[in-house]
């Protein structure tokens, strides 16, 4: 545990913002940093309905790397057929670079942990770290089970009528 009592679980990047998830006691805290402000929201573990873990290939980045690699490969092939010099070499190197990263996207998939409750959904992404993602998933599942086992319907704060 960190000195503040929060344990960092992972993050998710979106366009213009970063979501960082922490486990603090019986709650999941998500800090959202965008261009101008920081927002924090809490998801109580006794409200959690589902926790899932799956691995996926991000199709957008894979397509970007593959398309750019094939584009440079085509440029290298066209340059090689037109001129008998080494002008094709930079294009071939760029093609190899981008095709290598497309291959890495297939090999190192993104592990996605989704925590769902009636009020919110938290997504944690861990790139190329399957063991860490399994550990985070197990930690969340165990802590959620413990919290929900200790929380009975009588122990919750229910507003009184009147």
CATH classification at residue 22: 2.30.29.30
Q: Indicate whether 120 and 133 sit together in one domain.
A: yes
Rounded-to-integer distance, Cα 54 and Cα 13, Å: 17
Mean residue pLDDT across the chain: 84
pLDDT number for residue 159: 46
pLDDT number for residue 126: 86
pLDDT number for residue 157: 52
* pTM for this prediction: 0.70
Q: Indicate whether 52 and 65 sit together in one domain.
A: no
Q: Indicate whether 47 and 78 sit together in one domain.
A: no
Q: Indicate whether 26 and 91 sit together in one domain.
A: no
- Contact at 8 Å (CB) between 116 and 144? no
State what percent of residues in the chain have pLDDT above 90: 23
Question: Position of tokens 């970063």?
Answer: 18
- Asked if residue 155 is part of any domain, the answer here is no
Q: Two tokens at 136? A: 């985070």
Tens digit of pLDDT for each residue in 77-113?
888 876 667 778 888 999 999 999 999 888 888 889 9
Q: Indicate whether 21 and 45 sit together in one domain.
A: yes
Whether 3 has a pLDDT exceeding 80, the answer reads no
pLDDT number for residue 154: 54
- Asked if residue 157 is part of any domain, the answer here is no
Q: How many domains does the chain have?
A: 2
Q: Indicate whether 67 and 31 sit together in one domain.
A: no
Question: Position of tokens 């996207």?
Answer: 105
- Asked if residue 15 is part of any domain, the answer here is yes
Q: For residue 69, what are the domain limits?
A: 59-107
């Amino acid at each position: 545990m960190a000195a503040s009592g929060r344990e960092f679980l992972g993050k998710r990047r979106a366009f213009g913002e970063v979501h960082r998830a922490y486990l603090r006691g019986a709650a999941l805290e998500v800090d959202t940093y965008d261009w101008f402000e920081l927002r924090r929201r809490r998801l109580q573990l006794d409200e959690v309905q589902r926790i899932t873990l799956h691995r996926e290939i991000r199709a957008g980045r894979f397509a970007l790397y593959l398309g750019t690699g094939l584009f440079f490969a085509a440029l290298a092939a066209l340059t090689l057929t037109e001129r008998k010099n080494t002008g094709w070499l930079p294009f071939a190197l760029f093609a190899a670079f981008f095709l290598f990263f497309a291959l890495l996207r297939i090999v190192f998939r993104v592990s996605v942990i989704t925590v769902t409750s009636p009020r919110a959904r938290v997504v944690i992404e861990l790139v190329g770290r399957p063991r860490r993602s399994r550990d985070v998933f197990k930690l969340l599942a165990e802590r959620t089970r413990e919290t929900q086992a200790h929380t009975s319907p009588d122990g919750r704060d229910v507003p009184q009528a009147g």
